[in-house]
Chains A and B, each alone.
Chain A
Amino acid sequence: MGAGRTEVARALVGADPVESGTVEMRGKQLRITTPAEAAKHRIGYLSEDRKHLGLLLEQDVNANVGLSSIREKFQSWGFVRDRAMRARSREVVESLRIRTPSIDQTAKFLSGGNQQKVVIAKWLVKDCDVLIFDEPTRGIDVGAKEEIYRLLNDLAAQGKSIIMISSELPEVLRMSHRIVVMSEGRVTGQLEAAEATQESVMHLATLRPETEAVR
């Protein structure tokens, strides 16, 4: 799209260097230069490109689900506590209703929606406070979309902060409490859910950013 949404998200978690600006969480300024540091602050990023940047396609569901939290939760003295990790994997697979014959299934054999849920499961197990979902419903079927919406709502209800990046207007309007619109790399406006309409969002999305307008 070129609006710069993914770039902002990647900079937030330290996947790309920050050119300017600061990141604050709970009133404290954070210095994040790698996704590992972001994870330490319990910020997780789910890429829009789940095949290349989200999943270990050749690994099984269990390895994918445990990946982010293995060091924090499923080890003692460097040894993997396999039983605990598998138990937790089975638990999330069940609660997210990921359709897979078992947690030993290789991720590449799952459907798009279920793959997406595996990526979400990874961050659920990590127990993040801030989750950045980049186009979470891209390329998955309607049923799975609904489930992911429900999941996002559940997470929000549990007090997690969710930044959902999306270019599907109905989805944005339906899911958000607050909408930040970007165009050509700049934030062009912020709307509360109550005042947001298709028209108001589209208006901001098609604004030329101020830097351009000045010239």
Chain B
Amino acid sequence: MSTPTATEEEQRKDAPAGVRHTLRAGLQQFLAFASLLVIFVFFSIVSENFFNYGNITNILFSTVVIGTLALGTTFVIITGGIDLSIGTGMALCAVMSGVLIVNAGLPLPLGVLGAILFGGLIGLVNGLNVAVLGLPPFIATLAMMLVAQGLALVVSNSTPIYFDQTPAYIDISIGSIIPGANFPNAVIILAVAAVIAGVLLNKTVLGRYTYSIGSNEEATALSGIDVRRWKIVIYTLAGLFTGLAGVMISARLGSAQPATGMGYELQAIAAVVIGGTSLSGGKGSIVGTVIGALIISVLNNGLQIMSIPQEWQNVILGCVILLAVYADRARKSTTA
């Protein structure tokens, strides 16, 4: 090893945490980001309807629900777990929002808060099942997926709840807080949620433990960390994002649709994986997840604009997921 000069040494030591993080997670995010760029440029060239303000806003708008779900589930996946209940959990939270705001007539902020907290409750139950009862996350959250779907139908009597009387609720998603810009609030909310998730993952003890548990759960426990408790916290956190997604989707649709939700969890998980988060745990980033979610909606949007049938869109999305996982494998074998 050559001995670096004192100043070099100091510089390296004092590089801000953010820079180091970016460098370390660099490659994985770079790949995802480069793919997003390539897809973006491709659609811009092949279709003249793709690159304009209206359509870009559209793409961002359609990223919101999957993106919000993906943010929360990134934490769970980094711990090496999985959460299959987020899709139908979202539908249940949407219904709860309807029940609180439309049926019970609660003020909007309270209703929204209630729906989000209810998501947290779903997550808490998942966390207890996984951490205390020791159920495999796949099974625990698969069961919750069914429970949430059923409950959404039971609570709503299998009929949608409409927010016609509370236009302010609908404006949470499609209104525009920026005057004259016609830029949906939902996108801003997603951006804020992403920043919060990023701060939680990178700057807090919770974030560090999330990575530790995913890297080596047993070693983390033997290091004196109450792994059970932190897993419960992490699943609850994912549930809060599910609740937020429930609010966002029902505000966007103007109604809570109890029979929906199934399938969203897979799209969200796909976004996380495309973003470079490893399903085996210990690695991942919020930036990657946001890029992953954007890739999915850019693909959907671009393929739609090119009038490629829905069936083929799914085939292509599936191939993209495979590519992302191959890239992850290839990276691992070169660095190991």
Contacts and interface: CB of A to CB of B under 8 A. Distances in A.
Binding between chains A and B: yes
Interface of A: 13, 15, 34-36, 38-40, 44-45, 47, 52-60, 63, 66-68, 70-71, 75, 78-80, 82, 86, 90, 101-102, 104, 122, 126
Question: Shortest 9 CB-CB distances between A and B: which pairs?
Answer: A39-B224, A56-B215, A36-B226, A68-B223, A82-B17, A67-B223, A58-B215, A78-B204, A56-B216
B215 A57 contact: yes
Nearest to A99: B1
Given A35-B223, A104-B24, A126-B224, 17 more contacts: A36-B224, A40-B224, A47-B219, A52-B216, A52-B218, A53-B222, A54-B219, A54-B222, A56-B211, A58-B215, A59-B215, A68-B224, A71-B205, A75-B205, A79-B204, A86-B13, A102-B13
Nearest to A123: B223
A50 to B, nearest CB: 9
**Main SS at interface, chain B:** helix
B211 A59 contact: yes
Given A57-B216, A79-B204, A104 B20 contact: yes
Contact of A36 (B203, B225, B283): B225
Contacts of B221: 15, 34-36
A15 B219 CA distance: 11
Give the one of A53, A56, A57, A104 with max B CB within 10 A.
A56
B282 interface: yes
B63 interface: no
A91 to B, nearest CB: 12
Nearest to B202: A80
Interface in B1-56: 1, 12-13, 17, 20, 24
Interface string B197-217: 000000111111001100110
Nearest to B221: A35
A56 B212 contact: yes
A63 B226 contact: no
A46 to B, nearest CB: 9
> In which size bucket is the chain B interface?
20 to 34
Interface of B: 1, 12-13, 17, 20, 24, 203-208, 211-212, 215-216, 218-226, 282-283
16 contacts: A15-B221, A35-B223, A44-B224, A47-B219, A47-B222, A53-B216, A56-B212, A56-B215, A56-B216, A57-B215, A57-B216, A67-B212, A67-B223, A80-B205, A80-B208, A101-B1
A69 B22 CA distance: 25
A11 to B, nearest CB: 13
Nearest to B20: A104
